[in-house]
């Protein structure tokens, strides 16, 4: 069945780095954009980043620009989130989420999220 | 960034009730709106996209309406498994943004 499984979460000190991975199965991986969405403890959902089907386009929420980097390997059906210069406010469960049918407007594609992974927990604390 | 505001933030209901949740966008987003359901400790689940299109496998008691800035999620006959938190999300522009959530409890 269609599945997304995150890994790589853990505890890291402020200023440290962590790399999350998401393994996909059950669908044609290179036909879908992939997102990362996070949820801080007791809080709502916050979209973090998206990468297009072929990896050529990437967009980020302002608060992680220059610190986080999203990438994908279509030969291994994986998407990753490299997180550097981590801050306590980055503490959250990070979900990998598949982009649904793209909405094309101008030079951009936009997505709702139709399949979600269970998430990986990232804790930034000293 | 487009701000998404949900109301109410929480409320209590009973099984069999008809309930509605409102989501307002800070600017027009056409019908580029999705609704999700999340239960404690679980991943969100897509219910509706394009404001009113039911995702495959989602019960027909869920419905969505609206366009522009004002949207509504309605559950026609609340079931025990529907007690959860609901989020709206706009996909009109980046950054993609979610509403703050509406918790429906007994």
- Is a pLDDT exceeding 90 seen at residue A106? no
pLDDT of residue A96: 98
pLDDT digit string (tens) for A52-72?
999 999 999 999 999 999 999
Contact residues, A window 91-120, toward B, CB-based 8 Å cutoff:
95, 97, 100-101, 103, 105, 108, 110-119
CA-nearest of B105, B104, B101 to B5 is B101
Q: Mean pLDDT, to the nearest integer, of A82-109?
A: 94
- Strands B4-7 and B53-54, sheet pairing: unpaired
Contacts of A36 in chain B (CB under 8 A): none
Q: Which of B32, B98, B99 has its CB closest to that of A110? A: B32
Chain segment B9-53, per-residue pLDDT in tens = 999 999 999 999 999 999 999 999 999 999 999 999 999 999 999
The mean pLDDT of chain A is 96
Whole-angstrom distance, CA of residue B78 vs CA of residue A119: 28
- C-beta of residue A54 within 8 angstroms of C-beta of residue A33: no
Kindly state the DSSP code that residue A55 receives in the 8-state scheme. Answer: S
Q: Is A53 part of the contact surface with chain B (CB cutoff 8 Å)?
A: no
pLDDT beyond 90 at A102: no
**Partner residue opposite A119 with nearest CB, options B43, B98, B101:** B43
Q: Do B36 and A95 touch (CB under 8 A)?
A: no
Asked whether the beta carbons of residue B32 and residue A103 sit closer than 8 angstroms, the reply is yes
Element (H, E) at A92: strand A92-99
pLDDT computed for residue A107 by the predictor: 86
Instruction: Name the residue among A66, A61, A59, A62 with its Cα closest to residue A83.
Output: A66
């Amino acid at each position: 069945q269609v599945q997304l499984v995150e890994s790589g979460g853990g505890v890291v000190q402020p200023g440290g780095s962590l790399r999350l991975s998401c393994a996909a199965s059950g669908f044609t991986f290179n036909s879908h954009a992939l997102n990362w969405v996070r949820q801080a403890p007791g809080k709502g959902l916050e979209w973090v980043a998206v990468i297009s089907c072929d990896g050529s386009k990437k967009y980020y929420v302002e608060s992680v620009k220059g610190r986080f980097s999203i990438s994908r390997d279509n030969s291994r059906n994986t998407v990753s989130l490299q997180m550097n210069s981590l801050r306590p406010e980055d503490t959250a469960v990070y979900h990998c989420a598949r982009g649904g049918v793209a909405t094309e407007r101008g030079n951009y594609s936009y997505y709702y999220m139709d399949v979600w992974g269970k998430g990986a927990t990232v804790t930034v604390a000293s | 960034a487009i701000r998404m505001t949900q109301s109410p933030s929480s409320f209590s209901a009973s099984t069999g009730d008809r309930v509605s949740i409102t989501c307002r966008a800070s600017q027009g987003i056409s019908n580029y709106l999705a609704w999700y359901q999340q239960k404690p400790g679980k991943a969100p689940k897509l219910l509706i996209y394009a404001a009113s299109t039911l995702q495959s496998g989602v019960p027909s008691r869920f419905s969505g309406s609206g366009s522009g800035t004002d949207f509504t999620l309605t559950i026609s006959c609340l079931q025990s498994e529907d007690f959860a938190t609901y989020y709206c999300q706009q996909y009109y522009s980046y950054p993609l943004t979610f509403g703050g959530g509406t918790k429906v409890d007994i």
